[in-house]
Chain A
């Protein structure tokens, strides 16, 4: 079982240029410095490339925090 949160950590650290960033499920654009709308698009692109998934625009609108992102990725990697 992949630890998606652990895999997201380095991606966020690189895109946001914060090597010491500690990500949790409740991390969001409100709590993480530098996570603005430009960074958000870069994060999405990097996450898509890493996990080989594609996020629909409508799905992006529903993402409130990292936990939502983890759940969304999990759903795409293990579709039922």
Chain B
């Protein structure tokens, strides 16, 4: 089930109501059970075949954590952790990367295997990482092993199950066990939940989908684009993916709030970053936190000494993994490698203690980020490289805009251009949706504004088939 669907708009209040009623009448444990059932309905709605895979992953990780916490001997505990990590990573690789590896083997002239396409359990990249964090936390003695109901509730938690934000087990389980907010504070939490959800829905179905239609047209006509057009179409995708994913995160956080659970923000105006390092502190914050804590730090500490050189190695390895986590293609790996290289360069630059003017830093950062997103979006590496090459005005007719003009005309200039302009303004100026929601106070005016957001979003949703979330593919 997608957040931007009519089915979810019916499901969410039902699930919230059921959870609240169960909590009030039957207690937190029973309410947790109801939440698990609701989450499984949510997950299985579009692809019931994925349910046994999700259930299997949950039971296996839970079993490993129980075994881990019952074992005292340090060496044995380490091996159990390694087993748990190997099973989770193996599970992820089996469904995501096996065809990629086989393709690589085939290209090297080695075994040609025709493997059946098992399909892709929705959210596998996310719920696998969540359980990896959980197993490491158990190993380090930070949390006791969950009982099965807690673990199932944590992993299947429907606001975050499919595309994050990545959350720590302790945070979710503690909040589910707790009494929750009451009275005035609870009412404000619900209001902020509704408001955040409305903002996210608007960002997704109005902004993301509008930018997406421009980007789709551009990438479909990649062979005919000029420099100016490549810039416009690549920027369209850069804005699309931001509104798409941050809108999704807003809806996830809003949905969680309605259930009485607080989860941290996932975006903080990333396109205002003035360095690649700052970008990763503002973009997909839960993932970059995971990369720093669970990849970069252990890799760096495995070296005898943490020096600029070993830090560079750790950065490159961590970012290459992070890039390929997004999907089984060289484009994603290249995305990770490019960002890793930029981070290393930025670290070296900072050590020279020189500073660039703010505007130039921002411009370079944004242009670089825009370039790397070409590798995200292009259907294959050849198209990506062709697009990237065109970003420089070294070809014939760099200012030709026929394709762009035809695209915008087909999408109705009068409606799409104001939307795109408003979107661009929102990205670079004003408060973030997280700040707007934090400052939201229910009043007639603010409630009416929220209702209008939802109404406009519903009209957009009804006008054509909702575009799937970009990050559903990860």
Number of interface residues of A (CB under 8 A): 13
> Of the candidates A38, A59, A60, A61, which one forms a contact with B306 in the assembled complex, judged by CB atoms under 8 Å apart?
A38
B300 touches A58 (CB 8 A): no
A65 to B: closest C-beta gap in Å: 15
> Of the candidates A36, A37, A42, A58, which one forms a contact with B133 in the assembled complex, judged by CB atoms under 8 Å apart?
A58
How many A-B Cβ pairs are below 8 Å?
A: 48
B289 touches A58 (CB 8 A): no
A58 touches B301 (CB 8 A): no
**Is A45 interfacial (CB-CB < 8 Å)?**
yes
A36 touches B308 (CB 8 A): no
**Is A56 interfacial (CB-CB < 8 Å)?**
yes
**Is B400 interfacial (CB-CB < 8 Å)?**
no
**Whole-angstrom CA separation of A58 from B292 in the bound complex:** 11
**Is B407 interfacial (CB-CB < 8 Å)?**
no
B298 touches A56 (CB 8 A): no
Among residues 98 to 133 in chain B, which have CB atoms less than 8 Å away from a CB atom of chain A? 133
Main secondary structure of the interface of A (DSSP, over half): helix
B296 touches A58 (CB 8 A): no
Q: Which residues of chain A come closer than 8 Å to B293, judged between CB atoms? A: 57-58, 60-61
**Whole-angstrom CA separation of A41 from B277 in the bound complex:** 16
Assuming A36-B277, A38-B311, A38-B347, is B298 touching A57 (CB within 8 A)?
Answer: yes
**Whole-angstrom CA separation of A2 from B432 in the bound complex:** 42
Q: Which residues of chain B come closer than 8 Å to A38, judged between CB atoms? A: 300, 306-308, 311, 347
Residue among B296, B306, B315 with the most chain A CB within 10 A? B306
**Whole-angstrom CA separation of A56 from B277 in the bound complex:** 24
A41 touches B137 (CB 8 A): no
Residue among A34, A37, A61 with the most chain B CB within 10 A? A37
**Is B168 interfacial (CB-CB < 8 Å)?**
yes
**Whole-angstrom CA separation of A37 from B278 in the bound complex:** 12
A56 touches B142 (CB 8 A): yes
| Interchain Cβ contacts under 8 Å between A and B, 5 examples | A41-B301, A57-B297, A58-B168, A59-B140, A61-B293
Q: Which 6 A-B pairs have the closest CB atoms?
A: A56-B140, A38-B311, A61-B293, A58-B142, A58-B137, A41-B306
**Partner-B contacts on A (CB < 8 A):** 34, 36-38, 41-42, 45, 56-61
Known: A36-B347, A58-B136. 19 other contacts (CB 8 A): A36-B277, A37-B292, A37-B296, A38-B311, A38-B347, A41-B297, A41-B300, A41-B301, A42-B306, A56-B140, A57-B140, A57-B293, A58-B133, A58-B137, A58-B142, A58-B293, A59-B142, A61-B289, A61-B293
